[in-house]
Structure 1
Amino acid sequence: MTDIEIRDFEIESAGADDLLGYHRIVAASQQVDLPDDPPLTYENLVGRLRNPFTGFGPLRHWTAHRGGEMAGVANMYFPEVENSHLVIANVRVHPQSRGQGIGSTLARAIVPAIRADGRRLVECWQVPKGGTGDSWATRLGFETVHETVQQVLLIAEADTSLWEVAAPTGYRLERWIGAAPDALVASYVQAREAIHDSPLGQSSMSNPQWTVDRMRAAEAERRRLDVESRTVVAVHEATGTVAGLTELEVQPHQPTWAFQRDTAVLAAHRGHGLGRWIKAHMARWLLADRPDLERFWTTTGAVNTHMIRVNHQLGFTTTRSAIVLTQSVATLAARLEAQP
């Protein structure tokens, strides 16, 4: 498509027109592809661009223009360390411009950046199951390797009595905002290894191998981005070790939404209700500090029926299914070049 121009998009230097164009595409796409989600405001979109999720490596953006107007956007995370073999890509085209080769032109333009960084695989996450993005990626040869569900708890509709969960015998709570206390950080890092039991299907993404130094670096990155990170852990009284953990983030551009991140319980301590207990405490704690909170939201592997059930017991509802798609860079490039 020779009339489509692809440009690098730098959030630090982007002007108002480019930011408005980016918002127009993402907001219109969300309205069509995710109609049950609240409308995406301009301020929220710009906040997302300036404060991307931590833990996934550097984020780059590209835009597609036709006739002087932005018609599509693409971004890619470049994970590091264990996941330096892959990128996490997202391509969006304005609904009025779909079916015109813009998405494929964007994908074709970013393949050199993937290859230049030595990546072998492309993964697309949180693609609505059965939607336009699913169909487009499948035509390019992507395969579904994992399925997730999104779960949401709306505070206005919440039954907060569900958060009154008794402490399991033999455990106590510890909690913090920001950095883990020195006395617990080593045990906390060791407990995070339990997250490796969380199902990721056949995704090539690996959970991090945590160390104290790596944890301190992650904490520092969240502070730099002004992300409020809260952690609640269950400590086994007899040994003083962390037996379970749950983590939550509040982004500075969206202070009334809380994103529930990892929750994990060590295998030796499962069956005592620790996950529900610490998540319930997290909800009470956050709402006490933030009475204007509107919602909690989280994503969970579709086969992780235990955690889905725990979330339901706390008042979450499942709002949609999404998939993870994967493709080798070599095959993707060949498929794109074969297109007319």
Structure 2
Amino acid sequence: MHLYRIDPAGDREAVRALYGIHRAAEAAETPEGPILPAPSFCDWAAHGWSDEPREVWLGDSDGDGDRGTGPAAGGYVLELPDTGTHRVASLLLVVHPEARSCGAGRRLFEHARARMRAAGATSCTAMVLNGSPGEALARSTGAKPSLVFLRQVCALDRAKAPRPGEVTAAAGVPGYSPVRWCGRTPRGYESDVAALTTATSDAPSGDVDRDGVPWSVQRVRTRDERCAARGTRAYSVAAFCESEGRLVALSTAYVDAAHEGWASQGDTVVLGEHRGRRLSLGVKKDLMTWLREKEPSVHSIATWNAEPNDGIRRVNGSLGFTVSRRWTEWHLVL
């Protein structure tokens, strides 16, 4: 395998080749979907969700010189830490199903490990589908399973949420009122959204030490800009605390332009002092009701949750979500 670094923002042919490998692998392992559409994958490969630093490499099955001549067989996206003490990198490594069992995955990993060490990373994480060929590769590198994540799916026509026009759930909690927006975060709420996004750092994280750098207003704006640039519609429902004059709960879902009938649930978070008041259930119910109204072609919504996060799992179960797959986050000390 010949490896070469690509510029995902400038080399559309190369990043589309990487997406083709990713899509083939996803279709082989999770044929029920959803699969991230090409525009979102290519934008994420180039910029991350909010402009995190990264490297993208592609591997040809044969060839020499600066760039191989054979068909693309695999590649990886490496998100590198640029702040903090623990300096944890994140790796997405993909091998085309037709190129497996010939050492391609190991070759890609060893190359990625060298790049992580050169960048000063102290450890790395990778999400691997349970029961997939990636499990054996992860184990062979010396990585350890850190945390199990559940992909849960809900058919919107069966969701246990109010129908359009019914009283919203968040409005039923005394002292709080619902707030909705589609697209970029309104300027008056950006600092609240930054605080809420920072609060997600207290979710279960296994044995991985992350620095939990607080989100800034600028990072919220960057994430919104990236979302708009790739044609993704973001729907957000929040709970506004009337006595404090700020947002204290938030749930967001994303619908890609090429969504193929799926929406993706982002974070649902409630500030610590406001938990235990069913606000997470309220904002998620309102969000699903709004999605049914605004996106009639979306039939299902998928979400990811850490298995130990019992609170959000109970909320999801009450709304009609069921577990479809399990992934494990593997952690390797470099």
Q: 1:63 aligned to 24, 36, 58, which one?
A: 58
User: How many angstroms apart in 2 are the aligned matches of 1:124 and 1:130?
Assistant: 15
Q: Are residues 71 and 193 of structure 1, via their aligned partners in 2, closer, same or farther at CA, if it must alter by over 3 Å?
A: closer
| 1:84-138 superposed Cα distances (whole Å, 9 cap, x missing partner) | 812211222223322211111112223343233222212102x112321112111
| 1:304-329 superposed Cα distances (whole Å, 9 cap, x missing partner) | 01101101211211111111111123
Give 3-state SS (helix, strand or coil) of 1:276's partner.
helix
Give yes or no for the alignment of 1:149 onto 2:150: yes
Higher deviation after alignment, 253-262 or 310-319: 253-262
Q: Are residues 154 and 118 of structure 1, via their aligned partners in 2, closer, same or farther at CA, if it must alter by over 3 Å?
A: same
User: How many angstroms apart in 2 are the aligned matches of 1:185 and 1:47?
Assistant: 23
Residue correspondence of structure 1 range 83-94 to structure 2 within 5 A = 85-94=87-96
Give yes or no for the alignment of 1:295 onto 2:295: no
Residue correspondence of structure 1 range 31-42 to structure 2 within 5 A = 31-37=27-33
Q: Are residues 328 and 50 of structure 1, via their aligned partners in 2, closer, same or farther at CA, if it must alter by over 3 Å?
A: same
Q: Which amino acid letter does the alignment assign opposite residue 155 of structure 1? A: L
Give 3-state SS (helix, strand or coil) of 1:81's partner.
coil
- For structure 1, the residue ranges without an aligned partner over 5 or more in a row are 330-340
Q: Are residues 158 and 174 of structure 1, via their aligned partners in 2, closer, same or farther at CA, if it must alter by over 3 Å?
A: closer
Q: Are residues 286 and 72 of structure 1, via their aligned partners in 2, closer, same or farther at CA, if it must alter by over 3 Å?
A: same
Q: Are residues 196 and 228 of structure 1, via their aligned partners in 2, closer, same or farther at CA, if it must alter by over 3 Å?
A: same
Residue correspondence of structure 1 range 207-246 to structure 2 within 5 A = 207-246=212-251
User: How many angstroms apart in 2 are the aligned matches of 1:224 and 1:24?
Assistant: 21
User: How many angstroms apart in 2 are the aligned matches of 1:114 and 1:142?
Assistant: 15
TM-score of the aligned structures, taking structure 2 as reference length = 0.84
Higher deviation after alignment, 303-312 or 112-121: 112-121
Q: Are the aligned partners of 1:162 and 1:315 in contact in 2 as well (CA < 8 Å)? A: no
- What is the aligned length? 321
Higher deviation after alignment, 279-288 or 19-28: 19-28
TM-score of the aligned structures, taking structure 1 as reference length = 0.83
Runs of 4+ residues over 6 Å off in structure 1: none
RMSD: 2.8
Q: Are residues 50 and 217 of structure 1, via their aligned partners in 2, closer, same or farther at CA, if it must alter by over 3 Å?
A: closer
Q: Which amino acid letter does the alignment assign opposite residue 114 of structure 1? A: M
Residue correspondence of structure 1 range 271-310 to structure 2 within 5 A = 271-310=276-315
Identical residues among aligned pairs (%): 23
Q: Are residues 36 and 222 of structure 1, via their aligned partners in 2, closer, same or farther at CA, if it must alter by over 3 Å?
A: closer
Residue correspondence of structure 1 range 1-340 to structure 2 within 5 A = 4-14=1-11, 16=13, 18=14, 21-37=17-33, 44-45=37-38, 47-52=40-45, 53-55=48-50, 57-67=52-62, 68-82=70-84, 85-125=87-127, 127-161=128-162, 165=169, 167-254=172-259, 256-329=261-334
- For structure 2, the residue ranges without an aligned partner over 5 or more in a row are 63-69
Q: Are residues 242 and 94 of structure 1, via their aligned partners in 2, closer, same or farther at CA, if it must alter by over 3 Å?
A: same
User: How many angstroms apart in 2 are the aligned matches of 1:154 and 1:80?
Assistant: 39
Q: Are the aligned partners of 1:48 and 1:253 in contact in 2 as well (CA < 8 Å)? A: no
Q: Which amino acid letter does the alignment assign opposite residue 55 of structure 1? A: S
